Chains A and B, each alone.
Chain A
Amino acid sequence: MRFAAFAVLALSAVLAGCATGPLESPQPTLADLQAARNGGIPPLNVGEFKLAPGKPQSMDRVIVARAGTASPPEGKSFAKYLGSTLEATLKAAGKLDPNSPVTVQGLLGQSELNTNMPHGHAALGATFIAVKNGQEVYHKDLSVDSSFDSAFIGAIAIPAAFNEYAALYARLVDKLLGDPDFQAAVTR
């Protein structure tokens, strides 16, 4: 009986996994860098990124996958993490300028992750606003999502799901920088 209890406990530990902690800081790729360099985007300033009105605070603080939880890096919010991702991408491309007349702001409106078997799903969405010389020149909702294989064993599925979720931040930033409406708005 004692052995059975131990076995159940140990099995639960294996199935649950133990992936907790902050996501890694954004690390731009060549595709991200090219997204920022293409389209004639001028150097930009990154302004405030915060949770969209009416959204629960928990959405900005934690993301859950089965028994695992992940938080934004450096104690930031996920909205600020999106801003940091944009900042890191622009910086890598030489397009970040705190004195630029164009400031990009964001409102995090969607942050979802599930690890259903056999396929998990992650989604991220935000409203991006570009302000040029005090005037709003761009205002658009953008979102990205991802479906991925989700393993039975939690210790495999949970970190893999967080990787998928984290990758959405760079994809959302690439989508913004590649949006012809955004490119036109910040260059004219």
Chain B
Amino acid sequence: MNLFTRFARSAFVCAAMAFALTLSISAPAHAVVMYVDKGLPDLTPDQIVHVANPQPVQLLFQLQTKERPNSKGTTFLKAKVLEAVKNSGLFTDVTDGPATNGAVLSITIDNIPEANAGSKGFGTGLTFGLVGTVVTDYYVCTVEYLPPSGVGKITKTANHSLHSTIGLKSAPLDGIKAKNVEEGVFIMTRQIVSHALNSLGEDPAFSGTPAQPAQGQADAPTDAATAAPAETVPAAAPAPAATDETPAAQVAS
């Protein structure tokens, strides 16, 4: 239940609660099976960008639900985000307080639940789970890097999604089954943050010099953070492809 309260407005919670309401049971966690979308897998070693001169940075993180702060979810995921930042190799030291050079890295993960998740779960409950349903939570990770100079903010985004089945429903084709909800959320966090950071590392404006291209990736598009397939993203969700919002003037050609 604790995990459910941290992600109260997520599609999987809305659907599960509606399912529970219909069945009049209080905690249907057992009824939810989570799948991590295949569209944004872990980076392979040869995809990871290496920067020549990594610097310390101050990390700020916030989890949001539909662009509103989610304080419990932020606390829950903060350690995983910190781990992903440290593992990126882009920074020498990652701190809560001001970094010695004044650089700031802000990471926001916004959860956009599928709009009709509640009604889907309700329908599944009415049939006692015989007519199962699948709901999707979409996630947008926004990485903002404020260099030591304080000007020329670099922004990168990556998209991901989690699919949850409730009742009798076969696994979605575009998902990899997680052991439980917690593991699914952690995998999604690791993957979406590492892709967005890799995209940041590839930006010449980040280190002042062109980033060392990952082996075998020299001809690949600059933004490696390819996201969930377009067909899994509804009209209301953000565009699937990772985007580069760095002003053109800040990006060396």
Is A27 in contact with B98, judged by CB distance below 8 angstroms?
no
Chain B CB within 8 A of A67 CB: no
Contact B60 A163 (CB under 8 A): no
Contact residues in A for B69 (Cβ distance below 8 Å): 29, 163, 166-167, 170
How many angstroms from the CA of A16 to the CA of B69 in the assembled complex? 23
Q: Which of A10, A15, A156, A167 contacts B8 (CB 8 A)?
A: A156
Q: Determine whether the beta carbon of B26 is less than 8 Å from that of A30.
A: no
Q: Which residues in B have their C-beta under 8 angstroms from that of A164?
A: 68
A91 within 8 A of B: yes
Q: Take A7-B24, A14-B24 as given contacts and tell me if A92 and B98 are in contact as well, using a CB distance cutoff of 8 Å.
A: yes
B248 within 8 A of A: no
Q: Do A19 and B20 contact each other (CB < 8 Å), given the known contacts A13-B26, A24-B72, A27-B74? A: no
Contact assessment for A11 and B68 in the assembled complex, using a CB-CB cutoff below 8 Å: no
Q: Which residues of A contact B6 (CB under 8 A)?
A: 159
1/0 per residue A21-59: CB within 8 Å of B? Answer: 001110111100100010000000000000000000000
Is residue A101 within 8 Å, beta carbon to beta carbon, of the partner chain?
no
Q: Is the CB of A159 within 8 A of B5?
A: yes
* B21 contact set on A, CB distance < 8 A: 11, 14-15, 153
Q: Which of A10, A30, A37, A166 contacts B24 (CB 8 A)?
A: A10
Interface residues of B in 25-76 (CB under 8 A from A): 25-26, 58, 60-62, 65, 68-72, 74-75
B202 contacts chain A at the CB level, 8 A cutoff: no
By CB atoms of chain B within 10 A, which of A24, A30, A158 has the most?
A30
B14 touches A27 (CB 8 A): no
A27 to B69, CA, bound (A): 10
Q: Is the interface of A mostly helix, strand, loop or mixed?
A: helix
Q: Is the Cβ of A33 less than 8 Å from the Cβ of B60? A: yes
- Whether the pair B72, A163 counts as a contact (CB closer than 8 A) is yes
Partner of A156, one of B17, B71, B108: B17
Residue of A nearest to B18 (CB): A153
Least CB distance from B191 to A in Å reads 22
Closest B-chain residue to A155, C-beta based? B17
Q: How far is the CB of A4 from chain B (nearest CB, A)?
A: 10
Say yes or no: A153 contacts B17, CB within 8 Å. Answer: yes
Q: What are the interface flags for A91-102 relative to B under an 8 Å C-beta threshold, 1 for contact and 0 otherwise?
A: 111100000000
Q: Shortest distance in angstroms between A144's beta carbon and chain B's nearest beta carbon? A: 13
Q: A139-188: which residues lie under 8 A (CB-CB) from chain B?
A: 148, 151, 153, 155-160, 162-164, 166-167, 170
Check if B135 is an interface residue, CB within 8 A of chain A: no
* A11 to B: closest C-beta gap in Å: 5
Nearest B residue to A29, CB-CB: B62
B1 contacts partner chain A, Cβ-Cβ < 8 Å: yes
Give B contacts to A, CB under 8 Å.
1, 4-6, 8-9, 13-14, 17-18, 20-21, 24-26, 58, 60-62, 65, 68-72, 74-75, 78, 96-98, 102, 104, 106, 108, 118, 144, 146, 150
Interface pairs (30), CB distance under 8 Å: A6-B24, A7-B24, A11-B21, A13-B26, A14-B17, A14-B21, A14-B25, A17-B5, A27-B60, A27-B61, A27-B74, A27-B78, A30-B60, A37-B150, A91-B97, A92-B96, A92-B97, A153-B118, A155-B4, A155-B5, A156-B8, A156-B9, A158-B5, A159-B5, A159-B72, A162-B71, A163-B70, A164-B68, A166-B69, A167-B68
What are the nearest 7 A-B pairs in CB distance? A30-B106, A159-B8, A94-B98, A24-B71, A167-B69, A10-B24, A13-B26
Q: Which A residues contact B (CB, under 8 angstroms)?
A: 6-7, 10-11, 13-15, 17-19, 23-25, 27-30, 33, 37, 91-94, 148, 151, 153, 155-160, 162-164, 166-167, 170
